[in-house]
Amino acid sequence: DAGVTQSPTHLIKTRGQQVTLRCSPKSGHDTVSWYQQALGQGPQFIFQYYEEEERQRGNFPDRFSGHQFPNYSSELNVNALLLGDSALYLCASSSSGVLGYTFGSGTRLTVV
Amino acid sequence: DAKTTQPPSMDCAEGRAANLPCNHSTISGNEYVYWYRQIHSQGPQYIIHGLKNNETNEMASLIITEDRKSSTLILPHATLRDTAVYYCIVRVAQYNFNKFYFGSGTKLNVKP
């Protein structure tokens, strides 16, 4: 049973560029949440998607946007990248009736 | 969701029990206590969760005080592979609603 799959695992972007990160949830899960984790800090909640809609959002600017597809997979888009966007981006999936989240291994984004 | 307080770091000898404390003095009656751990640069891994009663699984035990204002995660026989950052989280039991609030966690160093 595959867990949460994220791609790519690493990437390097230049300031001002745009990036798309992808997440496939664990089989049977229908909700996807995205977190940003800066070096040495705990993960910070970005937003959550359920039934292809953004249901909750953390304290992140509109440069951060997302999408959920009918197969429950999700994308995180970040526009106009800043150096401060360099971080590990984590995707977590969950499902109604299941307490807790399953996390992926993350995408390491470096902005230069 | 209630916030948690954990010591920034702890040391433990290999083979000994590791006891990781967590304070959650503002926890509400319907909030669960979750523990996750994160091994360097990987996604957080679920360990255990509980509401009122003590819980045990193959990984660890969770002891929750009677007033529920604090808890302790116990790794009965720590190994070098248990070296990680351990996060204590409280959240409302609304299944896939709401986000996890991660603090800074406790860095557990298991030493030979």
DSSP B86-112: EEEEEEES-TTSS-------EEEEEE-
Assign A93 to helix, strand or coil: strand
pLDDT at A101: 86
pLDDT at A100: 76
Rg for chain A (alpha carbons), in Å? Answer: 13
Tell me the pLDDT band of A90, cut-offs 50, 70 and 90.
very high
Show which residues on chain B lie within 8 Å of chain A, measured between beta carbons.
32, 34, 36, 41-46, 49, 85, 87, 93, 95-105
**Distance of residue B33 Cα from the nearest chain A Cα, in angstroms:** 10
Assign B82 to helix, strand or coil: helix
Is the CB of A98 less than 8 angstroms away from the CB of B96? yes
CA–CA gap between residue B46 and residue A100 (Å, rounded): 8
pLDDT at B96: 52
Return mean pLDDT, chain A.
93
Q: What is the pLDDT of residues A8-29, one digit of tens each?
A: 999 999 999 999 999 999 998 9
Q: What is the pLDDT of residues B87-102, one digit of tens each?
A: 999 886 555 566 777 8
Query: A30: Cβ–Cβ under 8 A, 6 or more apart, which residues?
Result: A50, A51, A72, A95, A96, B96
Classify strands B55-56 and B61-64 as parallel, antiparallel or unpaired.
antiparallel
Residue A8 forms beta bridges with which residues? Answer: none
Is the CB of A48 less than 8 angstroms away from the CB of B49? no
Would the CA dihedral through B23, B26, B32, B35 be positive or negative? negative
pLDDT at A66: 97
Q: What is the pLDDT of residues B35-82, one digit of tens each?
A: 999 998 789 999 999 999 899 999 999 999 999 999 999 999 999 999
In the numeric block, which tokens belong to residue A71? 């197969």
Most confident of the following: A37-46, B22-31, B75-84: B75-84
Question: 10 Å Cβ neighbour count for A89?
Answer: 23
CA–CA gap between residue B91 and residue B95 (Å, rounded): 10
In the numeric block, which tokens belong to residue A22? 């992808």
Assign A84 to helix, strand or coil: helix
Q: Which residue has the higher pLDDT, A28 or A82?
A: A82
